[in-house]
Amino acid sequence: MFESPQGHWDVAGHRVGTGFSESGKDMATLADQVQVPAEVGRSGAEDAVHRLVRWAQSHRQAVTYGVAAVVVAAGLVGWNQVASRRSEEAAGEQLRQARLAFEQENYPLAASEFARIRENYSGSRAAEQATLLLAQTRLLQGQAQQAVDVLEGFSGSASAVYRAQAFGLLGASYENAGQPGRAAEAFEQAARSADLPSMQAQFLSDAGRAWTAAADTEKAVAAYQRIVRDLSKTAGVAEATVRLGELTKGAAVVPAAEK
């Protein structure tokens, strides 16, 4: 942030005539007196403009500094935007190359590239995508705990576009790491973060499965009931109904939807 030097305002006092002479002659009329405030207003405005012009003329260096500061600041904003765009483009190209290694099942190389993009372009969309792909790569390598390590700090801070996917992968990572209770919690977070009803139903179904594995029948039933009650138009409702019947021995009661 730049600051221009502050100038000194030389405010000159002006005495406004009343229109009366000492002898009482040439006395102003009532109309003249009523018009005086308007004249004073115009004179004051004109004086302010003239004072500003005089100040600028007598403080040319200060004005120059101020204009230069604005120009430099605008230049910096423009340069940052260009640099950010170029950085995103470079990250996108590197991500594309890393994806090729992933698709060719060269997981060690893919993991190395995803980790590098994640570190070098932190905060970018490419870095978020690289984080998700790195976790997925670790899962495919059978390294569930490493996937958990990648996602635990990321899922809660991921942008809205990737948050549901991040929690879903975290749930899968916990599940593969033998922690079904934590997996179920992550899946429910994913369901809350998802926009599409079909994704919400899928994550709730995953949560029901994980709660069942964690021997928490009550929470498993609640997860499946939410699908039947709130997401009845999704494909997941058929499986949820079957699982409810299995868990409750056919005695499942689906509560009414909340108003």
pLDDT tens for each residue of 107-141: 999 999 999 999 999 989 999 999 999 999 999 99
Name the domain count of the chain.
2
Choose the most confident range, by mean pLDDT, from 22-36, 64-78, 116-130. Answer: 116-130
In this structure, is residue 20 part of a structural domain? no
| pLDDT, averaged across the chain | 78
Q: How far apart are CA 231 and CA 162, in angstroms?
A: 22
In this structure, is residue 51 part of a structural domain? yes
223 and 141 in a common domain: yes
Global confidence as pTM: 0.66
Q: How far apart are CA 45 and CA 151, in angstroms?
A: 64
Mean pLDDT (whole number) for 10-32:
38
In this structure, is residue 207 part of a structural domain? yes
pLDDT of residue 24: 41
Closest CA to 172 of 194, 205, 197, 198: 205
- Indicate if the pLDDT at residue 20 is higher than 80: no
Which domain range does residue 49 map to? Answer: 38-85
Question: 106-138 burial string, b = 16+ CB within 10 Å, else e?
Answer: ebeebbebbbebbeebeebebbbbbbbbbbbbb
Q: How far apart are CA 142 and CA 138, in angstroms?
A: 6
